[in-house]
Structure 1
């Protein structure tokens, strides 16, 4: 694949990953990431200034997605912990009600 087309495709996939992450569709984000990963291997070391700008944009988007994913993971862990405490409390209530 020609380098400019390759970089355009990488950006397109990155933007799709960003959208999937914004929609909390982590499975789609993962699928798109798997599709995108091998394309990075096709990049050549020599890139012009325009290509480097796009690559830097991709890196910035990736960093933002990673940060959002970490925040989402922390929020899910808090929600899970809270739900488990409620389940335990309900279980104790039911056990006490039996006696």
Structure 2
């Protein structure tokens, strides 16, 4: 695979990660990131300016996805706590209702 084809493949994987994250498919996003990671790591240090610019775009997309993931994690944590409170309240009601 030549450098141009490799970067196009990395770019397509990045866009697929972005799409998966946008719809909350975090497991899929992680799988694609695992596939993309060795390809990124295999890039040499000396790259033409166009490739470096694309890598900067990829890094920006990754930073945005990380923020979205953090927000999703926070939201899920809040929902989990609310569910646990509701479960405790139902259990308490059931104990009291049995008397």
Q: TM-score, normalised by structure 1?
A: 0.96
Match of 1:20 in 2: 20
Match of 1:52 in 2: 52
Cα distance in 1 for partners of 2:76, 2:41 equals 33
Cα distance in 1 for partners of 2:33, 2:55 equals 15
| Two-structure CA RMSD over aligned residues (Å) | 0.8
Structure 1 residue runs of 4+, over 3 Å off?
A: none
1:71 alignment partner, SS class: helix
Q: Measure how far apart 1:40 and its partner are.
A: 1.3
Match of 2:91 in 1: 91
Q: Measure how far apart 1:41 and its partner are.
A: 2.1
2:47 alignment partner, SS class: coil
1:50 alignment partner, SS class: helix
Q: Measure how far apart 1:12 and its partner are.
A: 0.6
Cα distance in 2 for partners of 1:4, 1:53 equals 13
Match of 2:70 in 1: 70
Q: TM-score, normalised by structure 2?
A: 0.96
Q: Measure how far apart 1:7 and its partner are.
A: 1.3
Match of 1:82 in 2: 82
Q: Measure how far apart 1:3 and its partner are.
A: 1.7
Cα distance in 2 for partners of 1:44, 1:37 equals 14
**Number of residue pairs matched by the alignment:** 99
